[in-house]
Amino acid sequence: MPQNLPRPIRYAITSGKTTSQTTPDDPEFTSVLQLVETAVTREIPLIQIREKKLTTRVLYDLVVRAVEMTRGSATRVLVNDRFDVAHAAGAEGVQLTSVSLPARVVREACGGEFVIGVSTHSVEDACAARDGGADFVVFGPVFETESKRSFGPPQGLEKLALVASELKHFPVLAIGGVTAGNFESCLTAGASGFAGISWFESGSDADYQ
């Protein structure tokens, strides 16, 4: 995991509301950049550009602008799945999914300074990511949440604690239904931090500072 990230590690994720028709002139594009600006203002260490439906050209443009906005700040930009776009646009890293290339392949292609996060849903997934050269894993969904319902029922704090214990000092970030009312229970379970979409967009992140 990159050094000098304050604990708990806060990881903001954009909502993915852009589409294949979105252009840099559209409000959805501007909205993502506004979230990046907010992350910089709040000194959130990590923000993921999770705009899966954008064309490669528009995604590249978005990431280039996001990187420029975060330059010299405490905020680092990661891109969902597209490590090629992240690397070409100058982003600090990538967030790999269950259908992405393995972390070891991305590490070999992008080098040791490139930040690699991996989304996981089991102890086995998390261990494989760690052993493959990832810098951290995101585990969940821990609590009930609409955005993660397709990944199955909530894993719960007990499963989060199991993963954190199995990986020992390797960073595990909780995701899925994390709020101002329950994030401390995730840290107690052993998580190094938490990631989310709705808490960031709603401004609830102010509760964590």
What's the pLDDT score for residue 203? 58
What's the pLDDT score for residue 148? 55
Q: Mean pLDDT of all residues in the chain?
A: 92
The reported pTM is 0.92
Q: Rg (Cα) of the chain, in Å, rounded?
A: 16
Residue 188, H or E segment: helix 183-188
CA distance 94 to 61: 16
Burial of residue 155 (CB within 10 Å: 0-12, 13-18, 19+) is buried
What's the pLDDT score for residue 3? 55
CA distance 184 to 160: 13
List the chain residues with pLDDT less than 70: 1-4, 147-152, 201-209
Largest CA distance in the chain: 46
CA distance 60 to 53: 12
Q: In Å, what is the CA distance from 87 to each residue of 97, 116, 154, 186, 200?
A: 17, 11, 33, 32, 25
- 8 Å CB contact between 93 and 80: no
What's the pLDDT score for residue 204? 55
Match 């996001």 to its residue by tokens.
Answer: 66
- 8 Å CB contact between 77 and 47: yes
Q: At what angle do helices 27-41 and 56-70 cross, to 10 degrees?
A: 30
Nearest to 165, CA basis, from 115, 117, 127: 127
